[in-house]
Structure 1
Amino acid sequence: MKARNDNKLENLLKDLQERKKELNCLYKVEELLNNPQKPLEDLLRDVLDIIPTGWQYTELCLVRISYKDQVLETPGFEETPWMITEEIRIQEKKAGDLTVAYSHEVPHSQGQIFLEEEIRLLRTIADRLSHTLLHYELKKTFTKWQGIQEDFSHNKLEKWRAIMETLRRSDKKLFIYISRKMLRNLCLSGSEQANKLLKTFNMDQDERRMAVSDDNRPLIKQKMRRLLELSDQIFHLAAETMDEDQILYNIEKWIQEDKSKFLVKAIDNPNSSLHEIIDAITRYRYIEAEGIKLSSSIRKGLRVSLVRRFFYDQLEFINVAKKYIEVRDYYDIVSHIIFHADSRGSLGGKSAGLFLASRILENLTSKYEVFKDIQVPKTWYIPSDGLINFLYYNDMEEVNEQKYKNIEEIRFEYPNLIQIFKNAQFPARITDGLKTAIEDIGDHPLVVRSSSLLEDRLGAAFSGKYKSLFLANRGSKEERLERLKDAIAEIYASTFSPDPIEYRTEKGFLDFNEEMGIMIQEVVGSRMGPYFLPAFSGVAFSNNEFRWTPRIDRNDGLIRMTLGLGTRVVDRVADDYPVLVAPGKPDLRVNTTMDEILRYAPRRADVINLETNVFETINILDLVRHYGPDIPMGHDLFSKVSDGIIETPASAFFINYEKDDLILTFEGLFKRTAFVQEVRIMLEVLQEVLGTPVDIEFAHDGRHLNLLQCRPQSFAEESTPQEIPHDIPAQDILFSADRHVSNGDVPDIRYIVYVDPEGYRKLSERSDLLNVGKVVGWLNQILPRREFILMGPGRWGSRGDIKLGVSVTYSEINNTAMLCEIAWKKGNFTPELSFGTYFFQDLVEASIRYLPLYPDGNGSVFNREFLLNADNQLSRLCGEFSYLQNVVHVIHVPAAAQGKILRVVLNADQERALGYFAVPR
């Protein structure tokens, strides 16, 4: 065991040493090339001497640089079977080669002589040499021009003729390009002579007559081959109509534009691979550093093309992104993309939303100072077609047809599919890229997140449909790599899980060729004892869809937050509560009495245990007692309970983590810091710029607020309050409610699926509790869509103790018209206002109405007798689960209520809801 660990350590140190050599080599080359005053031959010889230091076997490394007629070599260079070559290209033409060879055979690494990192290093050095040599050539040309200017300064016509003659000899392609631009510029300025020049291009009398004689006939294409012959006329005309400085300015501008054409070509070519585009962006980065300036039209075109290639082709997205994302904003992102050789994928919806939001906030920092401290965690990306590459590499293409199977078959096969994915292999290039990411991130905890093509779009958020997995990222490099690949494979598998497939079917996206991008992101937070977690995290929404008081408006928004990782905020949990606040009216809280504040304070936190390498849930009070001083901003997060009073500590000196009775309220954060204002302004600005309400995720490490996600908020059309009738006979009322009522239209209900809280409480076997969820899922498929409601105990669809709520997923309830969660004191069944969880976002987006019922409350009506005594059709519809008929009741309302249906009316203004039997409309 010790020997094996020693070998691992030795290999790790060796890898790190190689990376250090490569970086040092590149750094020294950069230093040399940034000194353009040196004679070219001396510069190339210095580069020649440095290159071997970046290779694994420096003493055996030989180098040759060939450029035009020059050939420079290290002593003893000769061509061997063990060498690699990269072209030196200037303005899209080959100008030479850069070759590295080993004088003797060396040990192979992964089946090849040279490391992947060495191949990339050679490509980078060749690229930098190309830029430097272009600089020397242009400098030489401009030196000639200066001489020409001195010789011909007395005569504009002769001077420009000489300048163009120099260009004609040195770069014919550039000469034609500048001539064409000059002619076009003169035409646009309204010069009649220039237009005559253009019209007479290569056209005889018949062609000219044809070009103008018929409005419905396409004009004859004007050929530019005579530009060489007409250059004297073009620049003679320019000299007559433009001043010398303007002509010089235009020539310089057009030369710079010509230098950037490679980027335009790479991006606009639909056949360009991601590798080619990234190489072009990297090359452009060095050119821009030399002071290149592009016209506004070219810059805008590049911005649009880059958005389309890396993110979305949706016009709504492009129209905003082109205003806020510059070419330079891609410099960092392209250096953190892991891709296969022929990749043409995008970074997916989640990456797109976060990147655009961060650029919007960055651009508006001067106007809104609160944005200054907002950060985005370091992120690595795998493009969306990485999933397709993964499937083909493992001969698993048939998995793509999984989406066309019956939903129950998909649900049955999914657990096995996950294991198949986890046992599959990743291509070597992706594995190497993941190694680089791990080296860059170190042992900082990670979250691996989905970023599919369809995710986070307007009207189709896919909230929580795909997985996000947290990794402690501890252990050897090999162990961390395997856990990372395992997490990516599981997220790939989630593409074929029942929930997103059912969701795609509903949205009309089933036939869309869904691809899955990956985000590998540093977890925001700090270490507290053995645990790693944020000070707090949460979600925030532009629109508050479920107001707890009529005094809160829809546009006051909502923040839902807790201590630790945000998973307890976006997932429904069975046994805990988050803190809710409306950023537009932060003083109007959900819980106002001391009893409510104590009862509904968060008690658990999701954390990463760095010692056991697992994601786990811990008791907040235990964390406070043992590691309270390590909690950032603790005095702003916790309140003290003393002598029947809840008070907020004035500072860290007034809090004793070991002895004080503390509860999590965020009172100090809300009242003493700019946090609520910061989130409110962020929501307002993003909504205004993006043109839609937004949903953001955030986490705070005690110093900075980190933005983790931004997408269009799922929302239903605003509904008007419905009139509550007062003349309904008591025997026709099924239920009433007077707490947490929202507006909404509910269609006539013909079926009720009722899970009796008492019957559910008495189930002792976990399998039986799970089967209740399965029955609901089956009924969801066979009952008429939007003509039934679900009624049952506790918190549906939550993780944790399933005795506290029915265990269902979105695909098992998506056809219902309404969900009524029943609070039942006897079974500790308590609905939770899960506004902001993925579960509730699904309900809102699908226009499924939600209503909590409190039968034990004063004045509430709940006709349990009707629900228990009406004819139960469970055995007829789901014979396999007939043994659960005392728990699950399926009621055909017209049969049980003398031909009537169930009608539900909701009025948020009056905080009242009523469910009653009525004649069908």
Structure 2
Amino acid sequence: MTSNEPLQPTDRVSTGLAGLDEVLDGLRIGDNVVWRVSNLDDYRRFVLPFIDAAAHAGRQIIYLRFGEHAPIVSEHPAVRVIHINALGGFESFTSRIWRLIEEHGRGAFYVCDCLSELLNAWATDAMVGNFFRVVCPFLFELDTVAWFALHPQHHSRMTLDRIRETTQVMIDVHRDGAEVQIHPIKAWRRQSPTMFLPHREQGGRFEPITDSSDATRVQASLELEYLHRQPLLDYWDKLFQEAGRALANHEQHCVDDLQDQVLKVLISRDPKILELARRYLSLEDLLTIRSRMVGSGYIGGKATGMLIARNILLQEDPDTWKACLEPHDSSYLGTDAYYAFLVHNGLWPSVMRQRSEAGYLAEAPELQQSILKGGFPDEIRSELERLLDHYGQYPILVRSSSLQEDGFGNAFAGKYDSVFLVNQGGPEQRLAALEDAIRQVYASSMSEDALVYRRQRGLHQREEPMALLIQRVNGRFHGRYYLPDAAGVGVSRNTFAWDSSMDPEAGMVRLVMGLGTRAVDRIEGDHACVMALDQPGRHPFRNQDESYRFSQHLVDLLDLQEGALTTCPLSQLAQDVPALPLPYLAEVDRPASERAEQLGLAGPVWRLTFTPLVKRSRFIERLSRLLKTLEAGYRHPVDVEFTLHLDRQGEPSFNLVQCRPLATIGETGPVTLPEEPDPKRVLFRTEGHFMGGNINLTLDRVIRIDASVYSRLTTGQRYEVARLVGEAVRQGNGHTLLIGPGRWGTSSPELGVPVRFADITGVSVLVEVSEKAGDMVPDLSYGSHFFQDLVETGTAYVALFPDDRQCLYQPELLEPAPRQTEPEVRPEDAILVTTTVDRPLHLRADVISHRLICYFDD
């Protein structure tokens, strides 16, 4: 509280001790009183008179019990004891306290356990200070009086300073044998000539030590008492200091216990992740992680997955991966920095409004904007400056790595932002850009898509702080451009095998040239190269022309001159950058090259088929080995992101940038497809081109987008169709089949319906139909974030190509579209909803035979 705030007219409050009231000029309504003690008995002896005085005054008294020490208040008829578990983490604990203060309202009095006990639950000392900075102003606002204790020798100077700055009253208590001394350190808006001197207790009074010689002797005895105590260090730092000492002294009996302690405060609380980390992250590895951290707390799921995966490869197959796995150069911004940012910017009241049921979505946009405008604590900014010194002017990638992200069953794929930074310019300019990127990732935690995802999966009441993974972008400088040779997404199980001869257990890859953004996102008008690893030369195309058409034509890269992530046509890039490794990744399209030559255009014309990489290098062998090794280590199918660095012979080394458990739709058991039903009852059937394993569903309704109407709508009307589809999905119950032209979730309405995944959450089956109107073609892009959502939510996917002889599609069997008599069509005219309860509609799919059929009962 600042001294220039007007003092509100308030009643005096007694400490319960007349002598102490005299020293402090009493307490005031709104006071938070912090007692710094070495022994909690000294806190108890002051608490009990205060409680008796408050009870006599008719005050409501609440004892917040969260410590492992003996109770401060044993039993008192006027005191309500509320037990709170601090082990759930800073956010859940602080939120619980906040709600309790709200519930008890104005004028309640509080006694709290020792704040130092929170170190046992949170490990990170900074969060104790942040907790106090959140709660103290709220208590002051509600005209309460609250008492706290702490052991000053257990906390860092920064935490002690922040608590002192925030509280209204702070008192040190010292004991010399039977003699008790108090030393008021702060009493807001109160002063006397002797108030802030040490005071000896004598017969119920507290007499100031007014003799300077006496005071000097007292101070000397106190310094002698603390001389042999450990210097003030953060609890977090003490733990890592002890770990380093145990390793240096080869104290193996301590190492295992310390490894377990550090894992629980640095890596995860999830039992599955902890079990995996125990096997593959040694105490030495954990100390290395700590040395590359900004702040404290958890490094988050994405960083954890990347580090564990790298160690699996190096430990389980060292002969291969010591030579073929590039070293990483990552840094980590811990979860405590995220909470410190929120507290520093006074955003906790906004956080609490957003965490309520009514405010979960409604309050998020305002909180998101506040995060984007926030500043960083000085200690974080100085660490970020040092981090940038390390990376120099290499481009870096700031990636989300939240606590729940990339865990078993919760990938959060694409829900949070990642930001590329070209990292050019002077130090101030680069620091400003980094801070903007961090704010953007923090703010993405409040996006509607992320919030809906969390609520849908029952995670919205669980702590989800945002850590950051900061990585040097793997690649090469090519003049004004910077990009890796290639990048991709690999999955150890191919649940999208489009041919019955393919082995799903062999895995699959989605490969691009340049940055991997085009491998993980559905890119409009362009296509990554999708390969089944057991048959990499086999593609789901009819001919070479179609193979070229559905290949990559645009390359994502960093433009150092423009200072941004950008997209460049391959044809232009090939002309501007002669040193591109195209001979190792692409094939020359000879007919197209000849036509270009005739037109006087520079050639040759390259097509990114990745055939040379497959045929002339050990890429497929190494990727297959990588995926199998990681699946064995995780004891679960995996999904990885990687970049490739090609040597002079075109042999790839891998930089593994992400690994997570693959979300798969569980098999429903053997499915028996019906004998060939009457074609008049078949809505659609296909061989291949579906995802979800064995499927056995009875559908309750069908929502279909009429392509003939949709193709006549304007761009704005197509976005309106997307909104109306979301409404229609939310209005239904049971199993819904959603059919549309081209690509669901596209950002280009001419290629499909631009819904967000949040709009269609709850759909059982999603169907994309290749329609003539508007050239809307399904995107066979397993591995993209949109498809990851489908997999995690158990949503089956079907791509229909009506021109293919193995496909049948008869939308006329559904409720017919109304005849259009008006020349102008409306968005709602494109949406047709058919209820199938009275005439059951079944969907059956067999992953072994790769056959799927959707048909009506007789």
Provide TM-score, normalisation by structure 1: 0.63
Task: Judge conservation of contact 1:636–1:668 (CA < 8 Å) in 2.
Answer: yes
Percent of residue pairs bearing the same amino acid type: 29
Query: Which SS does the other structure have where 1:616 is aligned?
Result: strand
Q: 1:680 aligns with which of 624, 635, 641?
A: 624
Shift of 1:909: 4.1
In 2: Cα distance, 1:390 partner to 1:331 partner: 25
In 1: Cα distance, 2:383 partner to 2:628 partner: 38
Task: Judge conservation of contact 1:532–1:607 (CA < 8 Å) in 2.
Answer: yes
In the other structure, the counterpart of 1:827 is 774
Shift of 1:556: 0.6
In the other structure, the counterpart of 1:513 is 463
Shift of 1:643: 5.5
Q: Over residues 177-199 of structure 1, what are the superposed CA-to-partner deviations in whole Å (9 max), with x where a residue is unaligned? A: xxxxxxxxxxxxxxxxxxxxxxx
Shift of 1:762: 1.4
In 2: Cα distance, 1:645 partner to 1:738 partner: 36
Q: Over residues 90-149 of structure 1, what are the superposed CA-to-partner deviations in whole Å (9 max), with x where a residue is unaligned? A: xxxxxxxxxxxxxxxxxxxxxxxxxxxxxxxxx9xxxxxxxxxxxxxxxxxxxxxxxxxx
Q: Does 1:756 align with 2:706?
A: yes
Shift of 1:546: 0.7
In the other structure, the counterpart of 1:383 is 334
In 2: Cα distance, 1:763 partner to 1:410 partner: 34
In 2: Cα distance, 1:688 partner to 1:402 partner: 44
In the other structure, the counterpart of 2:56 is none
Q: 2:756 aligns with which of 809, 814, 819?
A: 809
In 1: Cα distance, 2:416 partner to 2:249 partner: 43
Q: 1:470 aligns with which of 412, 416, 420?
A: 420
The verdict on how the C-alpha distance between 1:772 and 1:275 changes in structure 2, with shifts beyond 3 A counting, is: farther
Q: 2:784 aligns with which of 837, 846, 849?
A: 837
The verdict on how the C-alpha distance between 1:370 and 1:436 changes in structure 2, with shifts beyond 3 A counting, is: closer
Q: Does 1:502 align with 2:502?
A: no
In the other structure, the counterpart of 2:307 is 355
Task: Judge conservation of contact 1:556–1:585 (CA < 8 Å) in 2.
Answer: no
Query: Which SS does the other structure have where 2:829 is aligned?
Result: coil
Q: 1:717 aligns with which of 637, 643, 666?
A: 666
The verdict on how the C-alpha distance between 1:854 and 1:724 changes in structure 2, with shifts beyond 3 A counting, is: same
The verdict on how the C-alpha distance between 1:389 and 1:332 changes in structure 2, with shifts beyond 3 A counting, is: same
Q: Does 1:853 align with 2:853?
A: no
Shift of 1:826: 2.9
Shift of 1:733: 2.5
In 1: Cα distance, 2:425 partner to 2:299 partner: 29
The verdict on how the C-alpha distance between 1:619 and 1:565 changes in structure 2, with shifts beyond 3 A counting, is: same
Task: Judge conservation of contact 1:370–1:678 (CA < 8 Å) in 2.
Answer: no
In 2: Cα distance, 1:292 partner to 1:472 partner: 43
Q: 1:308 aligns with which of 243, 264, 273?
A: 264
In 1: Cα distance, 2:806 partner to 2:405 partner: 44
Shift of 1:699: 0.6
In 2: Cα distance, 1:480 partner to 1:644 partner: 43
In 2: Cα distance, 1:773 partner to 1:402 partner: 30
In the other structure, the counterpart of 2:828 is 885
- Aligned positions of 1:273-352 closer than 5 A: 273-281=235-243, 284=245, 292-295=249-252, 297-339=253-295, 343=296, 345-352=297-304
Query: Hey, which of these two has a bigger chunk of helix by percent?
Result: 1
In 2: Cα distance, 1:573 partner to 1:746 partner: 31
Task: Judge conservation of contact 2:671–2:696 (CA < 8 Å) in 1.
Answer: no
In the other structure, the counterpart of 1:159 is none
- Aligned positions of 1:212-223 closer than 5 A: none
Q: Over residues 127-178 of structure 1, what are the superposed CA-to-partner deviations in whole Å (9 max), with x where a residue is unaligned? A: xxxxxxxxxxxxxxxxxxxxxxxxxxxxxxxxxxxxxxxxxxxxxxxxxxxx
Q: Does 1:773 align with 2:722?
A: yes
Q: Does 1:492 align with 2:442?
A: yes
In the other structure, the counterpart of 1:903 is 842
Q: Over residues 587-641 of structure 1, what are the superposed CA-to-partner deviations in whole Å (9 max), with x where a residue is unaligned? A: 44444732232222211111111111111121112111221x322x331101122
Q: Supply the AA of the counterpart residue of 2:785.
A: Y
The verdict on how the C-alpha distance between 1:401 and 1:768 changes in structure 2, with shifts beyond 3 A counting, is: farther
Provide TM-score, normalisation by structure 2: 0.67
- Aligned positions of 1:152-551 closer than 5 A: 273-281=235-243, 284=245, 292-295=249-252, 297-339=253-295, 343=296, 345-366=297-318, 368-401=319-352, 417-551=367-501
In the other structure, the counterpart of 1:702 is 646
Q: Does 1:788 align with 2:736?
A: yes
Shift of 1:821: 0.3
Query: Which SS does the other structure have where 2:622 is aligned?
Result: helix
Query: Hey, which of these two has a bigger chunk of strand by percent?
Result: 2
Task: Judge conservation of contact 2:556–2:567 (CA < 8 Å) in 1.
Answer: yes
The verdict on how the C-alpha distance between 1:890 and 1:321 changes in structure 2, with shifts beyond 3 A counting, is: same
Point out where structure 2 has 5 or more consecutive residues left out of the alignment.
1-156, 158-229, 595-600, 648-652, 820-824
Task: Judge conservation of contact 1:734–1:863 (CA < 8 Å) in 2.
Answer: yes
In the other structure, the counterpart of 1:177 is none
Shift of 1:867: 4.3
Shift of 1:410: 6.2
The verdict on how the C-alpha distance between 1:404 and 1:427 changes in structure 2, with shifts beyond 3 A counting, is: closer
Q: Does 1:634 align with 2:582?
A: yes
In 1: Cα distance, 2:282 partner to 2:633 partner: 16
In 2: Cα distance, 1:373 partner to 1:720 partner: 40
Task: Judge conservation of contact 2:815–2:834 (CA < 8 Å) in 1.
Answer: no
Q: Does 1:669 align with 2:613?
A: yes
In the other structure, the counterpart of 1:735 is 684
In the other structure, the counterpart of 2:115 is none
Q: Supply the AA of the counterpart residue of 1:884.
A: P
In 2: Cα distance, 1:807 partner to 1:362 partner: 43
Query: Which SS does the other structure have where 1:545 is aligned?
Result: coil
Task: Judge conservation of contact 1:325–1:356 (CA < 8 Å) in 2.
Answer: yes
The verdict on how the C-alpha distance between 1:425 and 1:915 changes in structure 2, with shifts beyond 3 A counting, is: same
Q: Supply the AA of the counterpart residue of 2:851.
A: R
Shift of 1:736: 2.6
Query: Which SS does the other structure have where 2:798 is aligned?
Result: strand
In 2: Cα distance, 1:723 partner to 1:525 partner: 50
Query: Which has the higher Rg, Structure 1 or Structure 2?
Result: 1
Query: Which SS does the other structure have where 2:753 is aligned?
Result: coil
The verdict on how the C-alpha distance between 1:859 and 1:551 changes in structure 2, with shifts beyond 3 A counting, is: closer
Task: Judge conservation of contact 2:268–2:274 (CA < 8 Å) in 1.
Answer: yes
Q: Over residues 809-835 of structure 1, what are the superposed CA-to-partner deviations in whole Å (9 max), with x where a residue is unaligned? A: 221122001000010123101101111
The verdict on how the C-alpha distance between 1:861 and 1:383 changes in structure 2, with shifts beyond 3 A counting, is: same
Task: Judge conservation of contact 1:300–1:322 (CA < 8 Å) in 2.
Answer: no
Shift of 1:549: 0.9
Shift of 1:349: 0.8
Q: 2:604 aligns with which of 652, 660, 665?
A: 660
The verdict on how the C-alpha distance between 1:586 and 1:402 changes in structure 2, with shifts beyond 3 A counting, is: farther
Q: Does 1:916 align with 2:855?
A: yes
Q: Over residues 495-524 of structure 1, what are the superposed CA-to-partner deviations in whole Å (9 max), with x where a residue is unaligned? A: 122222222222222210111101111111
Q: Supply the AA of the counterpart residue of 2:255.
A: R
Shift of 1:417: 4.3
In 2: Cα distance, 1:645 partner to 1:440 partner: 45
In 2: Cα distance, 1:716 partner to 1:463 partner: 16
Shift of 1:890: 2.0
In 2: Cα distance, 1:762 partner to 1:414 partner: 36
In 1: Cα distance, 2:833 partner to 2:462 partner: 36
Task: Judge conservation of contact 1:574–1:802 (CA < 8 Å) in 2.
Answer: no
In 2: Cα distance, 1:724 partner to 1:676 partner: 35
Task: Judge conservation of contact 2:497–2:688 (CA < 8 Å) in 1.
Answer: no
In the other structure, the counterpart of 1:578 is 528
Shift of 1:298: 2.4
In 1: Cα distance, 2:790 partner to 2:857 partner: 26
Query: Which SS does the other structure have where 1:769 is aligned?
Result: helix
In 1: Cα distance, 2:356 partner to 2:722 partner: 21
Shift of 1:333: 2.2
- Give the superposed CA RMSD: 3.0
Q: Supply the AA of the counterpart residue of 1:377.
A: H
Structure 1 window deviating more from structure 2 (633-642 vs 558-567): it is: 633-642
Query: Which SS does the other structure have where 2:493 is aligned?
Result: coil
Shift of 1:711: 1.0
